[in-house]
Amino acid sequence: MHEPNKRNTDFRDVLRFVAPGTMLREGLEHVLRAKTGGLIVIGYGPKMEAMVDGGFSINCEFTPSHLYELAKMDGGIIISEDAKRILFANTQLFPPAAIATSETGTRHRTAQRTAIHTNHLVIAISQRRNVITLYKGAFRYVLNDVNVILAKANQAVSTLEKYKSVLEQSLTNLGALEFEELVTLEEVAFVLQRFEMVLRIKEEVTKYICELGTEGRLISMQLKELVANIEDEAQMLIRDYCRDRETSPADVLLEMKKLSPEEMLEPTSFLRVLGYTAHASMLEESVSPRGYRILQKIPRMPFAIVSNLVEHFHNLPRIFMATIEELDEVDGIGEVRARAIKDGLRRIQEQVFIDRHI
């Protein structure tokens, strides 16, 4: 279940490892500009030892200039796992020829087979095409020029702003419907769909930030500003509407991440991940929120108190209609907090009704 998320994490780690601002990337850029080409393996273990032939044991400190000078020789360069030492140079690598490869050039075929066989990060620098290609396991990625990545990142942030605006308006509309007790599963599915779109664009921007390294600071600040607490709010919405209260919101988010682009367009896909039997007629079914998302908006409201309220009253309409005396009966709520809850819910209701018409 957690495999796609792990692959994304590994992917980001690889991009950070070779990002602008690192000594390794500086060395790779030196080799690229010199047009000598190169094959570099990060890490050395038993599988690597078995397939290395010839070359020189260097075992010196890694510096960009050392990498550049050694790349002038034929053969592969092997660097330590932390990229702090150059272990071998001018080596011949002989990965199992039976490993399938999609590459055509000898250097890139060797690089891909080595990465698949050892799971080490292998970097191929093309002498003819002037590009850097990363391989790790079955993962392959061509590094882009920093200016190209920046342009793509800025475009993605602009798209994210638009989708975030749509999400905020849909949350406002949902909040108003929750107070009016008019929510159907269609509205819930629509909001979850918007959450997933925003989260996917966020993932795309995060990938660009990793690849940009020190050049991505401003994009990173914009991203934090735009999507602060976005996953927390998505989890609150899931707590409000998932069919089984014991369902983990984090697991639901992972299931949403697995939806294909085609499934993303179908509202019933989001009902399915919430635990409903998904068919078109379900969309018109009325549903009441448990109240987690709205209650969390009340200032200084601990999650434990929110849980106690939901446990006691079961849904938001009943919490909203409860008197101060009835709220006071809930574990952990005294008269002062009961009044704060009553006033807080009223203010939130007024605000969403106003925002809905802006």
Q: 6 Cβ partners below 8 Å, 6+ apart?
A: none
Fold (topology level) of 17-143: YojJ-like (1 (3.40.1700)
pLDDT tens digits, one per residue of 51-94: 999 899 999 999 999 999 999 988 999 999 999 999 999 999 99
Q: Report, in angstroms and rounded to the nearest whole number, the Rg of the chain calculated over CA atoms.
A: 27
The SS3 assignment for 143 reads strand
Give the pLDDT score at 10: 66
Q: How far is CA 297 from CA 75, 242, 293, 314, 346, in A?
A: 61, 20, 7, 18, 12
Confidence at 8, pLDDT banded by 50, 70, 90: low
Outline which parts of the chain fall under CATH 1.10.150.20.
290-357
Give the bridge partners for 89, in sequence order: 56
Q: 33 Cβ partners below 8 Å, 6+ apart?
A: none
Confidence at 336, pLDDT banded by 50, 70, 90: very high
> Nearest Cα to 217, choosing from 67, 44, 7, 19?
19
Does the pLDDT of residue 1 top 50, yes or no? no
Q: How far apart are CA 130 and CA 36, in angstroms?
A: 9
Q: How far apart are CA 353 and CA 358, in angstroms?
A: 9
What number is the average pLDDT over the span 237-266?
Answer: 94
Q: How far apart are CA 307 and CA 303, in angstroms?
A: 6
Confidence at 2, pLDDT banded by 50, 70, 90: very low
Give the bridge partners for 125, in sequence order: 38, 132
Q: 235 Cβ partners below 8 Å, 6+ apart?
A: 249, 250, 253
- In this structure, CATH architecture of domain 145-288: Up-down Bundle (1.20)
pTM metric for this prediction: 0.81
Confidence at 167, pLDDT banded by 50, 70, 90: very high
Give the pLDDT score at 146: 86
pLDDT tens digits, one per residue of 104-157: 889 999 999 999 999 999 999 988 878 999 999 988 999 888 889 999 999 999
- In this structure, CATH architecture of domain 290-357: Orthogonal Bundle (1.10)
- Whether 67 and 34 have beta carbons less than 8 Å apart is answered as no
Give the bridge partners for 79, in sequence order: 42, 86
